Chain A
Amino acid sequence: MLHPVPTLKETPSQTAGPYVHIGLTPNFAEIRGVYDADPGSTMLTDDTKGERIIITGRIFDGSGALVNDALLELWQADADGSYTAPMGPNSNSAPAFTGWGRQPTNAEGIFTFETIKPGPVPGPDGRPMAPHVNLWIVARGINIGLQTRLYFEDEAEANATDFVLNKIMDPRRRLTLIARKEAGDVPRYVLDIHLQGDKETVFFDM
């Protein structure tokens, strides 16, 4: 068969609802004793290679209100630009860096990931894409998960030629994906996400 056609239809999405933290970050939701730790709450180990950074920001709705009941997942390459090879299903050894993190927004609508700066990943045109992390956002009032990317302000040269950023025609909208850098012992990259409004973040259909 030259072009296989799908035989089943994808299960339709439904909102994660107001209590997504119960299911996906139960310890944060004060449901203790079920899981040792919330999945994805810690991305780093002592063995993780790469520059330690903090990725943080706030989520705003279209009325300017902070979204304090959202859940974000982050998926990124390692410092060499590779996505982590899978753990075997029966493996007991976790890799030094899985590339996956999950965090709630807190009462102030703030999310924070402690991670490493990713390396450049090859793009579909064979050239490297600028370093970036992939974000997936769900919450009450979001009917289907929102997918976006976060790029780094101090990678201006790579950002200028990035395959995905260049698909965004309006340069002002391109800026909605570029985190500003705050220097420090551990550099912080700060990006606010706007679900709607003048500064609406670019979201992808991927």
Chain B
Amino acid sequence: MSGIILPGADGALYPRNRDWHPPANTPGYKSTTFRAPKHALLSLGGTASELTGPTFGHSSINPLDNDLIRNYSQDGSEAIGQRLIVYGQVLDENARPVPDTLVEFWQANAGGRYRHKKEAYLAPLDPNFGGCGRTLTDENGFYSFRTIKPGAYPWPNGGNDWRPAHIHFSVFGHAFAQRLITQMYFEGDPMIWQCPIVGSIADKSAIDQLIARLDRHNTTPMDALAYRFDIVLRGRRSTMFENKLEGN
């Protein structure tokens, strides 16, 4: 159901609410200073080029891809850290599930250290933790993966800035104009509210949308805590799910 404009749809997405997203230039996050475009974005509406998008088959995903506790194991042992199940539903702005879409995630290890040659934080690497994974949403738009809780880490921005524990997410949807990268934070973390990257978002209720909720109901006893993080992608003004195929 992707890669083509849906039959009967006018195809158009709701315009992106740029006030809900962080603006390009946010001085508190210094890397934006030279990387934020200064010209206004050119409004395009959307053509076939933006309203189609790539799709991914289940054959492209391996069984361990959504298990960060084991997918980089070097010696058969598991990654160190607080064991988590992170799950949620990918929906569009019409509250319709987005099935069969690729969700990718990456994160620091339990000590807050990334496996990257430019990483300078002195926290140790975990030999059995790579820090990346992926999965496809099911027919109801749900995804889940197993991981360890990432540590907070310091970063060069202000004199002493620390990132709250977070997991980076990349989501496709079914149109190239739905493409989204974001970060998930953990309910109750006081460090969320002092982070310049979180603070690039003006609206507190928008930030709230990035905070995963502890879900005691879905924890695995004696194994893993569960956090729920739902993701909303842009929606179409009308789709094939409408009764009328005329696009209203």
Contacts and interface: CB of A to CB of B under 8 A. Distances in A.
Contact size range, A: 35 or more
A160 interface: no
Interface in A171-206: 173, 195-196, 200-206
Binding site secondary structure of chain A: loop
B248 A2 contact: yes
Interface stretch (A44-52, A108-116, A122-130): A122-130
Contacts, number: 287
Interface in B233-248: 233-235, 237-238, 242, 248
Contacts of A84: 3, 54
B44 A67 contact: no
B106 A23 contact: yes
A10 B65 contact: no
A85 B52 CA distance: 9
Interface stretch (B21-29, B141-149, B218-226): B21-29
A132 B176 CA distance: 14
B59 interface: yes
Contacts of B95: 7-8
Interface of B: 1-4, 14-18, 20-24, 26, 29, 31-39, 41-50, 52-60, 62, 65, 71-72, 91-95, 99-100, 102, 104-106, 114-119, 130-134, 136, 168, 170, 176-177, 179-183, 197-198, 200-201, 206-207, 209-210, 231-235, 237-238, 242, 248
20 contacts: A11-B232, A12-B20, A14-B201, A15-B31, A19-B114, A22-B116, A23-B170, A34-B72, A35-B65, A77-B49, A87-B56, A90-B59, A94-B57, A98-B54, A122-B48, A123-B47, A138-B181, A196-B37, A204-B41, A204-B43
